[in-house]
Amino acid sequence: MHLFHSLLSFQDRLKDCSFAPLTLFVAVLFLGDFFFGPANGFAEEKAEESLHNLKKITLQYYSGAEPVGEAAFQQLKEMGVKVIISVDGIRPNVELARKYGIRYVHIPVQYSGIDRGAELSLVRAAKEIDEPVYVHCHHGKHRGPAAMAILCQAAEVFDGKQAEQFLQEAGTSPQYKGLWKSVREFQPPATSEELPPLEETAEVDSVASHMAEADRRFDHLTAFLEATEDMTPEIEDQLNGETLLLWELIRESRRTVALDKSSDAELVTAFEESDLRLKSIKYELKTTHSRATWLEKLNEIKRDCKACHAQFRN
C-alpha cells in the first residue's frame, strides 16, 4: 500500500478520536518531510561530492547524476539503494555496482523525449521493484528526473502536477520540450500492453547512429531557418531548442568514443573540440536575433563536420 493511501486510512481511523486533529497535524508534518522533504520542495540530500544533483522523493526513490567511482557507489550503499536505473545512453558500470551489492537496470532515453517502450519499462520497474531505487542520467538534471517523474506516476507517488513540479525542482531545462511533454502526457498502460523485460545493459545507439540523427537535425534546422523570414521570440525559442538537441547528440558521441578504449586518440580529440565549439556557438546564438548570424553559425558547424568526416569517415 502506498504511503499516501496509508495516510488517508490513518486519517479515517482517527475521525472518532477527540485528539484526532492534533495527532493528524503531527503525522502530516512528519510524513510531509518523509515524502517531499522541506516545505515547497523535494529533499536535496546533503551527500558527498561523489553524488551530484541528488534528490530524495521518498525513502524508496532517489534521483541524481551518474555515480562515478568507488565513493559514489559506497554512498549509494549507505543510502540503502539496491537498484540503480540508468537512463543514460552509455553502458552502466554494472561490475562496480555488483561489488557494492547493487544491481543495474538500463533504460536509455533520448533528450528529445521518452518513447513508449521506455515508458513501459519504467512502469514495469514501478510494479516490480520494491527496494530503494536510484535513477540517473549523466548530470541528473534532465533525462533522469523526467524518467523519475514517469516512474513515480506509474507508482502512484506523483500525480501530473507533482511530476512537473519535480522537473522544476530538479532543474530540468524547459528547452527540453520533449521531456516535459513526455511527463505531462504520460498515460498508464492498458492491460493489453505488454511490459518489456528489464535489462541490466540495454543495446545503446552507436556513434554512427548519433551522427545520422545529428545530420537529420542539422538539415531540419537549416531548412527551417531558410524558410523563416521573421525572427520572432517563438521562432528563436524553437531554433535554440533544436540547437540544444544537436549539441547533445555530439556530446553523447564524444562520451561514447572516449569510453571506447579502441578509439583513435585523434578522433577523441576531434569530438572534444567539436563539443566545445558547438557549445560555444549554442551560447552565442542564444543572444542574437539575426537570421544572418544564425545562417553564418550553421555554416561554421557544417564546415567543422565536413572537415571531421574528411579525416575520419570518408
- Average pLDDT of the segment spanning 276-290: 83
CA–CA gap between residue 220 and residue 228 (Å, rounded): 12
What is the full DSSP assignment across 11-57? HHHHTT-TTHHHHHHHHHHHHHHHHH-STTS-EE----TTS-S-EES
Q: Which pLDDT band holds residue 44 (cuts at 50, 70, 90)?
A: low
Segment 95-154, tens digit of pLDDT: 999 999 999 999 999 888 999 999 999 999 999 999 999 999 988 999 999 999 999 999
- Average pLDDT of the segment spanning 210-239: 83
Note the pTM of the prediction, 2 decimals: 0.68
- Residue 1, pLDDT > 60, answer no
Among candidate residues 64, 23, 99, the one with its CA nearest the CA of residue 169: 64
- Average pLDDT of the segment spanning 251-265: 80
Q: Which pLDDT band holds residue 274 (cuts at 50, 70, 90)?
A: confident
Segment 6-17, tens digit of pLDDT: 433 434 444 444
pLDDT for residue 200: 96
CA–CA gap between residue 202 and residue 224 (Å, rounded): 34
- Residue 241, pLDDT > 50, answer yes
What is the full DSSP assignment across the chain? --HHHHHHHHHHHHTT-TTHHHHHHHHHHHHHHHHH-STTS-EE----TTS-S-EESSSSEEEESPP-SHHHHHHHHHHT--EEEE-SSS---HHHHHHTT-EEEE---BTTB--HHHHHHHHHHHHH--S-EEEE-SSSSSHHHHHHHHHHHHTTS--HHHHHHHHHHHT--TT-HHHHHHHHT--PPPTTSPPPPP-SS-----HHHHHHHHHHHHHHHHHHHHT--S--HHHHHHHHHHHHHHHHHHHHHHHHHHH-TTS-HHHHHHHHHHHHHHHHHHHHHHT---HHHHHHHHHHHHHHHHHHHHHHT-
pLDDT for residue 26: 41
CA–CA gap between residue 99 and residue 96 (Å, rounded): 5
First to last CA, the chain: 59
